[in-house]
């Protein structure tokens, strides 16, 4: 499903069309994913930098720009929630600092090592399963 996102920034009205959003079963809009929100921030900054100084309105189409959140980070976050374990608890369990675990859980972090994933899974009393799946077409 898609919606139109509008905002007023620095005296310029920005309207972005065809923004992917989620709706519940009753049709009420739930909001944007983290990736879409990051894309919107980039698009707004671009619109402001390219808008003519006398322009009071900019309209553009949504474009995916930000890299997709790392699926490994998202899965590790899901597993921690499932086990009701905090990042600080995981850090203590693995003998690392909380900022290290925070980095591993960041959707922008794309460099997880298999040994780290295995150690986290062990601390969570879980197994690791690796699958390769076809890419989604854009």
71-113 pLDDT, tens digit each: 999 999 999 999 999 999 999 999 999 999 999 999 888 999 9
Asked if the model's pLDDT at residue 41 lies above 60, the reply is yes
51 or 97, higher pLDDT:
97
Residues in the chain: 138
Q: What is the pLDDT of residue 96?
A: 96
Q: pTM score, two decimals?
A: 0.55
Q: What is the pLDDT of residue 126?
A: 96
Q: Are strands 12-20 and 57-61 parallel, antiparallel or unpaired?
A: parallel
Asked if the model's pLDDT at residue 23 lies above 90, the reply is no
Asked if the model's pLDDT at residue 138 lies above 60, the reply is no
What is the DSSP track for the chain?
A: -EEEEEEEETTEEEEEEEEE-EE-TTS-EEE--HHHHHHHHHHHHHHHHHS-TT--EEEEE----SPPPPHHHHHHHHHHHHTT--HHHHHHHHTS-HHHHHHHH-TT-----HHHHHHHHHHTT--------PPPP-
- What span, in angstroms and rounded, lies between the C-alpha atoms of 74 and 125? 18
Residues 6+ apart with CB under 8 A from 30: 21, 22, 23, 24
HSE-CB at 14 with a 13 A cutoff on CA atoms is: 23
Q: Cβ(86)–Cβ(80) under 8 Å? A: yes
């Amino acid at each position: 499903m898609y919606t139109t996102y509008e905002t007023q920034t620095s005296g310029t009205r920005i309207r972005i069309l065809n923004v992917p959003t989620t709706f519940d079963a009753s049709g009420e809009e739930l909001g944007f994913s983290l990736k879409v929100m990051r894309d919107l921030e980039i698009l707004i900054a671009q619109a402001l930098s390219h808008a003519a100084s006398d322009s009071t309105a900019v309209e553009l189409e949504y474009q995916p720009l930000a890299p997709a959140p790392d699926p490994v980070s998202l899965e590790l976050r899901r597993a921690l929630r499932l086990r009701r374990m905090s990042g600080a608890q995981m850090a203590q369990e693995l003998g690392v600092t909380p900022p290290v675990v925070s980095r591993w859980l960041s959707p922008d972090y794309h460099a997880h090592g298999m040994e780290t994933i295995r150690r986290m899974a062990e601390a969570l009393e879980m197994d690791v399963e690796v699958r390769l799946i076809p890419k989604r077409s854009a």
